[in-house]
A and B are shown apart, each in its own frame.
Chain A
Amino acid sequence: MAVLINHMPITLATGSQTFGPVLVPDGLTSITLRLARNTTATPLIWPLEATRITADMEISTDGGITYRHVCGVTAGGGLVQGKQGEATETVLTCLPLPAGSGRRVRVPTTVVSGPLVSELTVEVT
């Protein structure tokens, strides 16, 4: 596994912003995006359900000339219960990643009713 973006604090105003691109190590086949969620221990992170984000994962296999959409997620904030109690993250995983050497990944985001305060992690396995 390789962590491409590791708990990077983000504050996203309403509108669009793109993270990356970052290089994906060759041979890895799945990608996961994590956004820290609001919990009772982290009340300042993404507290409002109305604050919504759409985050896509796009990959380039031609050195960053062109990118294609791989997968994406839409979510709102606020406290959410997961299978093991309070959900600490919104997570998106997709596989298989398109094969190639020197691949690059970027994450375009669009926020509604921002700002959205969170932490972004992108990892590949």
Chain B
Amino acid sequence: MPWAEVGAGSQRNQTSAASADSTTLVFPANVAADSLLVVAGACWAVAGAPASVAVTDTLTTAYTVLDVANVGNVRYFIARGLAPSAGACTVTVNPDGAASDFSFSIDEFSGSHATPLDVDGGSSTGTSTTPSDGITTVTADDLLIGVMTHVAVSSPTLTKGADYTQIGEIENNLTTQCHHAEFRIVTTAQAYTVDWTVGASVAWGCYTAAFKEAVAAAGQPTMRRWGGVPYQRLAGTPGRSW
């Protein structure tokens, strides 16, 4: 089953908070069981980057958080979990500490492998207008997720990379912590660059991860033609060797 962004983007949502303990954010429509729920963002605190970021939701999805704190007082993260059931879903993000500035985006993807992580791409930092992080996928047909943030006391524009689709962004970096999250569905296991463009040179950090798509069910092998569009044998067709 190939990756697909559920609702062609209608499940995207984003929020920001300042001087807050935690925030909640709702998926615009019910999520489906076994969907990959993605939460990506960044948080800041005056005393130093929050020690951790807890992500939970009302479906009791078990989230795994990939995160790092290596630029300013900011921790940025990509969290993902497989929805255990279908239904309305409210996500809570709670950085460690009582009062943080933070923002994040959420999205839903269908077609996830039961153990989704293919590659933890880790992070990159720099000072420029072109944040990027390289990631080399191991498995074909991955979903690439990237999130970036910066520590300038300004709010320049944040623009997705040319090959990517924006999940969400908060550009305000004066009264909250900015982020930009994006994704791409790829077909070939190889090296990729996840990139953005910032409207001014800033000290930035970005994190990437790649996730595997579902394995075809027994008797339902998936073939692919050029372009990566899947063909599947119709159920009940006479047995053939693939």
* Chain A residues at the B interface, C-beta cutoff of 8 Å: 37, 49, 52, 56, 68-76, 80-84, 87, 89-96, 98
Contact = CB atoms under 8 A, between A and B. Distances in A.
Contacts of B16: 91-94
Contacts, number: 92
Interface of B: 13-26, 28, 44, 46, 90, 98-99, 101, 153, 170, 172-176
Given A49-B98, A69-B90, A94-B13, A75 B26 contact: no
The 7 closest A-B CB pairs, nearest first, are: A81-B46, A91-B18, A94-B15, A72-B24, A87-B19, A80-B99, A90-B19
Given A83-B175, A84-B153, A75 B13 contact: no
A71 B106 CA distance: 12
Nearest to A91: B18
A82 B46 CA distance: 7
B175 A73 contact: no
A75 B99 contact: yes
A83 B98 CA distance: 15
Contacts of B18: 82, 87, 89-92
Contacts of A82: 18-19, 46, 101, 175
Contact of A73 (B17, B153, B172, B173): B17
A83 B44 contact: yes
Contacts of A52: 21
Contact of B26 (A49, A68, A81): A68
B174 A71 contact: no
Contacts of B90: 69
Max count, chain A CB within 10 A of own CB: residue among B23, B26, B101:
B26
Contact of A90 (B14, B20, B46): B20
Contact of A83 (B17, B21, B23, B174): B174
A90 B46 CA distance: 15
A87 B99 contact: yes
Nearest to B58: A69
Contact of B19 (A70, A80, A96): A80
Contacts of A81: 46
Nearest to B168: A95
A92 B23 contact: yes
A74 B93 CA distance: 10
A47 B25 CA distance: 27
B19 A98 contact: no
Contacts of A83: 44, 46, 101, 153, 173-175
Nearest to A68: B26
7 contacts: A71-B24, A74-B23, A82-B19, A83-B101, A92-B23, A94-B14, A98-B28
A70 B23 contact: no
Contacts of A37: 19
Given A56-B24, A68-B26, A83-B101, A91 B17 contact: yes
A73 B46 contact: no
Contacts of B99: 75-76, 80, 87
Contacts of B25: 70-71, 94
A28 to B, nearest CB: 16
